[in-house]
Amino acid sequence: MDQQLQQEGYFGEFGGSFVPPELQEVLHYLSEQFYKFKEDPEFKEELRYYLSEYVGRENPLTYAERLTKAWGGPKIYLKREDLNHTGAHKINNAIGQILLAKRMGAKRIIAETGAGQHGVATATACAMFNMDCVIYMGAEDTRRQALNVFRMELLGATVVPVHNGQGRLKDAVDEALGDLVRNYKNTFYLLGSAVGPHPFPTMVKHFQAIISEESKRQIVEKEGRLPDAVVACTGGGSNAIGAFAHYIDEPGVRLIGVEPDQAPSLTQGVPSMIHGFKCLVLLDEEGQPKKTYSIAAGLDYPGIGPEHSHMKVTGRAEYATVTNEEVLEAFQELSRTEGIIPALESAHAIAYAKKLAPTMGQDQLIIVNLSGRGDKDVEQVYSMLK
């Protein structure tokens, strides 16, 4: 069984689980439970119920008619994760994992957060399911994201500022893993993206795959065929892998991940280890994970999910970068032409779609995954533009 689980955690040379033995045991158990419950009819029905009644799925695949006209190329469709409760795709995964935690008998949920978006999604799901919730956050990040700390506290979570190291996301991850090892009997670690040791990348993909399950059905209903390209932004890679999942075995569909030119893990990273798994990582001169900077907090990560790393190497998916200026322009253009203010993360995908459109024909179709809405970013964009 162990051997099999280990194999299942690999995507080519990437993925795996490189953690201390005491944590390995906890992850093996989590793996077993995940594979058991993911096919359980009652579990599936419960997940479907909450995705529908609480998250508000299914969300639309909106034809962006004015944007299509403005760009003069293929038809642009937007998958509307921005319309989910809490305003992004992260809640799909938070609900899925918390239902699993409940089945496993956990009473307490822990998570790490950098900018606070995953912390807020986790705190939301915990409030709904009446679970104790502890969010580890770098002390430096709690100062920069005071409003998100307040949001999590409003939702009933305890936010623990981490002073170790540099007081950033990486230190919060270490603290959360330590907590898990001490408290695994009653505690579930809810990881926010398609990264980390096995089974997290596989599990997060499973819960985010609802995005492409819906979009595939919707595009066939609307156009009678599959799209020519699916475009999504990549931070850790969870919205992208969810948006790609049901098209990976459709060779006619181009899959394109878009990253900030200041955090290009896929376009410039090299195979290395980060946070207990192997992927393409941006390294500095000393061979340490590089400090990245993105105007979109959710894309600010020097690693990337193992399956994306594998699809980059095999060529199944393409990965591109866009600049801050292109992102800011896309943020404004989508607002103006479609009345949709996108998250800065999602604006990366829009910015790249705009460059892609002129290379394609008018009879072709692009789906852009709109991972989240931009309310959270309006103040930041205001100060950048003034």
Ligand X SMILES: *Cc1c(COP(=O)(O)O)cnc(C)c1O
Residues that bind ligand X (CB under 6 A): 88, 90, 117, 193, 233-240, 298-299, 343, 345-346, 371-372
Q: Report the nearest approach of ligand X to the CB of residue 235 (Å).
A: 3
The 10 Å CB-count burial string (b at 16+, else e) for 14-48 is bbbbebeeebbebbbebbebbbebbeeeebeebbe
In angstroms, how far is CA 233 from the centroid of its own chain?
A: 9
Active-site residue identified among 90, 205, 278, 354: 90
**Nearer residue to ligand X within complex by CB, 333 or 377:** 377
Instruction: Point out the residue whose Cβ comes nearest to ligand X.
Output: 372
Active-site annotation holds for 223: no
> Which of 276, 273, 196, 272 is CA-nearest to residue 237?
196
Active-site annotation holds for 90: yes
Q: Report the nearest approach of ligand X to the CB of residue 119 (Å).
A: 11
Q: Report the nearest approach of ligand X to the CB of residue 223 (Å).
A: 25
SS3 per residue for 19-80: CCHHHHHHHHHHHHHHHHHCCCHHHHHHHHHHHHHHHCCCCCEEECHHHHHHHCCCEEEEEE
**Nearer residue to ligand X within complex by CB, 9 or 114:** 114
Active-site residue identified among 75, 102, 112, 346: 112
**Nearer residue to ligand X within complex by CB, 187 or 193:** 193
CA distance 238 to 57: 18
Torsion of CA 256, 354, 299, 248, to 10 degrees: -20
**Nearer residue to ligand X within complex by CB, 31 or 371:** 371
Q: Report the nearest approach of ligand X to the CB of residue 362 (Å).
A: 29
Q: Report the nearest approach of ligand X to the CB of residue 145 (Å).
A: 13
CA distance 279 to 337: 38
Bridge partner residues of 160 (DSSP): 136
Active-site annotation holds for 355: no
> Which of 197, 206, 165 is CA-nearest to residue 303?
197
Q: Hey, which residues are catalytic here?
A: 90, 112, 371
